[in-house]
Amino acid sequence: AQRVTQPEKLLSVFKGAPVELKCNYSYSGSPELFWYVQYSRQRLQLLLRHISRESIKGFTADLNKGETSFHLKKPFAQEEDSAMYYCAPLTGANSKLTFGKGITLSVRP
Amino acid sequence: DAGVTQSPTHLIKTRGQQVTLRCSPKSGHDTVSWYQQALGQGPQFIFQYYEEEERQRGNFPDRFSGHQFPNYSSELNVNALLLGDSALYLCASSRDRVINSPLHFGNGTRLTVT
């Protein structure tokens, strides 16, 4: 079955610590993968997409096809990174996203 | 650009009633998708509308139906409401014919069924 797994519900770190939010997927073909973020009292918004190979707000995510993973990383967490993060593969040509259950990142001062 | 707008922001209904939620897509977008987000869960895909037709559907019963209008705005209707329908309903828009066009989300409608 096609699915996306975010194995952790909560990650709590101190400011300046490295962050890795895990995402594993099980999809046939080559889905495009996204990370979406929801800050407190804001709408769900796109953080980054693997095809762009970009770094947004210091975050990067590498697609590992061998491990079928798309972990989100940041070397030095900031308090403003505290939010809910969702991994979401997009399958097919019609922009259908399938979301993981999400992980809450809490960055303490 | 106002982005994706949804109305109402909050709604309280009784079991068995019917509800209609509304969504206006981001300017330039022609595809609307609806998601249900229960407390503590990720958004679950309900269905997607393009050219005024339902193009894809998730694992939701027929009580959930929708509509898209010529101006690309959309409605989500839920009949015979159950307590389990209480959730945040998210609308997202995108552009068709743009491969892997990212979704832009609205703030959602919080539906409470009592």
Q: Which of A95, A97, A101 to mutate to test the interface with B (most CBs of B within 10 A)?
A: A95
Contact B105 A100 (CB under 8 A): no
CATH numbers and ranges of domains, chain B? 5-113 (2.60.40.10)
pLDDT of residue A9: 94
Q: Are A77 and A83 in contact (CB under 8 A)?
A: no
Q: Which of A10, A27, A32, A44 is the best substitution to test chain B (most B C-beta atoms within 10 A)?
A: A44
Neighbours of A53 (CB within 10 A): 11
Mean pLDDT of chain B: 93
Can you tell me which residue has the tokens 């015979």? B80
Task: Judge whether residue B14 has pLDDT over 80.
Answer: yes
- Kindly give, in sequence order, each residue whose CB lies less than 8 Å from that of residue B97, ignoring residues fewer than 6 positions away: none
Give per-residue pLDDT as tens, B15-62: 999 999 999 999 999 999 999 999 888 999 999 999 999 998 999 999
Phi then psi for residue A18, to 5 deg, are -75, 155
Per-residue confidence (pLDDT) for residue B62, from 0 to 100:
96
Contact between B78 and B19 (Cβ < 8 Å): yes
Cβ neighbours of residue B13 closer than 8 Å, sequence gap 6 or more: B19, B81, B111, B112, B113, B114
User: What percent of chain B is modeled with pLDDT above 70?
Assistant: 96
Q: One digit per residue, pLDDT tens: chain A, 109 residues? A: 668 899 999 999 999 999 999 999 887 777 788 999 999 989 999 999 887 777 889 999 988 888 889 999 999 999 999 999 999 987 665 667 889 999 999 999 9
Distance CA(B110)–CA(B114), nearest Å, equals: 13
Nearest CA distance, A98 vs chain B (angstrom)? 7
Q: Which residues of chain A neighbour B4 with C-beta distances below 8 Å? A: 43
**Is the CB of B44 less than 8 angstroms away from the CB of A95?**
no
pLDDT at B1 over 70: no
Q: What is the mean pLDDT of residues B88-106?
A: 85
Q: How confident is the model at residue B88 (pLDDT cuts 50, 70, 90)?
A: very high
Provide the shortest C-alpha distance from residue B8 to chain A (in Å): 15
pLDDT value, residue A56: 85
Compute the Cα dihedral for B94, B95, B97, B98 and give only its sign.
negative
- Chain A residues close to B32, C-beta within 8 Å: none
Domains annotated on chain A, with CATH: 3-108 (2.60.40.10)
